[in-house]
Structure 1
Amino acid sequence: MPIAIDDLIAAERLPPSYAVMVDRWWRPLARQIAYWHASAGRPLIIGINGAQGSGKSTVCRFLQASLLPEQGLSAAVVSLDDLYLPLQAREQMARDIHPLFRTRGVPGTHDVDAGMALLEAMVAGRDTLILRFSKALDDRLPQADWTRHAGKVDILLFEGWCVGARPQDAAALEQPLNALEAQEDPDGIWRRHVNKALQTSYAQWFAMIDHLLMLKPPSFDHVLNNRLRQEHKLRATAPDAPGIMDDAAVARFVSHYERVTRHMVADLPDHVDLLFQLSAGQDVISCTGLANEDAHVS
């Protein structure tokens, strides 16, 4: 049974006004996904791209728990954030390839093989364990803390900050983009390896996506502000966890994502099925491609 929207809003600690967002944007999105599913006649993988703090997990929660069940569809969520390589593996990459690979986030720091196997198993309806990663610990949780998915699913929501990202042209990698690249990757080894991952293993992974949507922030500065808010919340709930960052550390951390994020903002709008434009307050202000009379439909 679908969970009531008001109950979800309360559980997610959202303002009551979020119900307007649900009715205007997320319920029509659920109808669009249901149309895609009916047309395909098989389970679908829906990719949800959005920079840090864009509200991806919230959208997925409402789709999975309420809006897709309203359409008679079962749904499950796979988060890119649970598919980071363990800390030990990233430390090995830092030694073997480049020190910046110790920091999770960029393409190259995910367990792509496990991610592809997970999507394949869940779409096929096989019982499977879903990996879990702790941002506070900056490491994968032990298998005893993973969750088991069993049975058929109609819609698999695959969400993550760089889901569906495409590689840059080689020429775009020549010059450092920010202080982090200038000071710690002057020869471009790290950023070229990230781009190579997008050209190869990540391209194969993202090719599994049937339809891709993007939650597009107004600027990269808003991404940093949203990530700071996320860290403040994490700090409040787990102040002694080893992975907690202060504001300066968050700014440096987000610099790792800046190149790919800026490229996605410029490149992906022409390649997604649905483009949700966000305001500075993370509200949707328009959508291209959604069958909704209130949206700016192209």
Structure 2
Amino acid sequence: MGSSLDRVEALLRQRMAVAGRRPFVLGICGAQGSGKSTLADGLAQRLAATGLRVAVLSLDDLYLTRPERDALARDVHPMLATRGVPGTHDVALGLSVLDGLTQAGPTLLPRFDKAVDTRAATRVRVEGPVDVVLFEGWCVGAVPQDAAALSVPVNALERDRDADGRWRRHVNQCLAAEYQRLFGRIDALVLLAAPDFAIVRDWRIQQEEGLRARLRREGKPVDATMSDAQVAAFIQYYERLTRHILDEMPGRADLVLRLDAGRGLAGI
């Protein structure tokens, strides 16, 4: 991770030196389990040690609450009850947080509790204005697919539960609209590129194992965590857009860190 941190920090400081606004927003995109949070946290520590004010915002923390997603499932498509894809985040909240971080005074950053699948009551207080926002997430900076690309299912989930393509069209429309306003705040974009989508299952299983271990340490129940089979089914919600990102984003990201199966740096 040290080499990746060095590369990302160098890009950030180079771009900040010529940027005309604060905070500088660095987008960090990568598939589930690719190490986005670890990279963002390590970079935040480095920057803070040099006197910069830093805020870390995760796209995951902008997920809609479970009742809000249940309403989408009822009114738009049943698959929207499952968090993950564009359309299941509170984009207005993300924009509000970014606006708040430009101003003097406190901004409360939301936190999403995956163990109970809804937003946590506790939020993180950050004093603004900040110099840098590290905005990380699995589809941060993504752009929509062409309509023609939506016609063929990419996996069994889409084939069986979205046979008419209504869910994936809705997701694509959301990504093309309000998400572009959110991602338009990004000043530089880094992609942690998985070697392929197949490895994402293993990475996501490792994440779930880590979550179970943390819950046990805290004396909390692990019933809500997913089995390996459930993880394999869950990541199908992310597959279409993850594949699209790996195909499209390297051509326009400011920095692409190509990872090997162990998340080591394989190329730049």
- Settle same-fold status: TM greater than 0.5: yes
Please state how far the C-alpha of 1:151 moved relative to its aligned partner: 2.2
Partner of 2:42: 62
| Equivalent position to 2:193, from 216, 226, 237 | 216
TM-score normalised by structure 2 residue count: 0.94
Please state how far the C-alpha of 1:125 moved relative to its aligned partner: 4.0
* CA pair 242-88 structure 1, distance change in 2 beyond 3 A: farther
Partner of 1:254: 235
Partner of 1:110: 89
Partner of 2:101, secondary structure, is: helix
Structure 1 segments, 4+ long, off by >4 Å, are: none
Q: Distance in 2 between matches of 1:129 and 1:30?
A: 25
Structure 2 matches for 1:280-291, cutoff 5 A?
280-287=261-268
Partner of 1:52: 32
Q: Tell me how many residue pairs correspond in the alignment.
A: 263
Partner of 1:273: 254
Please state how far the C-alpha of 1:236 moved relative to its aligned partner: 2.6
Q: Percent identity?
A: 47
Q: Please, which runs of 5 or more residues in structure 1 have no aligned partner? A: 1-20, 288-298
Q: Output the aligned Cα RMSD.
A: 1.4
Partner of 1:150: 127
Please state how far the C-alpha of 1:216 moved relative to its aligned partner: 0.2
| Equivalent position to 2:72, from 93, 114, 136 | 93
The answer to whether the Cα contact below 8 Å between 1:53 and 1:230 also exists between their aligned partners in 2 is: yes
TM-score normalised by structure 1 residue count: 0.85
Partner of 2:128, secondary structure, is: coil
Q: Distance in 2 between matches of 1:122 and 1:129?
A: 9
Whether 1:30 and 2:9 are equivalent positions in the alignment is yes
Instruction: Name the stretch that deviates more: 173-182 or 238-247.
Output: 238-247
AA aligned opposite 1:62:
G
Bigger relative contact order, structure 1 or 2 (CA pairs below 8 A, ≥6 apart)? 2
Partner of 1:40: 19
Partner of 2:241, secondary structure, is: helix
Q: Please, which runs of 5 or more residues in structure 2 have no aligned partner? A: none
Partner of 1:123, secondary structure, is: coil
* CA pair 129-70 structure 1, distance change in 2 beyond 3 A: closer
* CA pair 70-130 structure 1, distance change in 2 beyond 3 A: closer
Partner of 2:207, secondary structure, is: helix
Whether 1:130 and 2:109 are equivalent positions in the alignment is yes
Partner of 2:235, secondary structure, is: helix
Partner of 1:277, secondary structure, is: strand
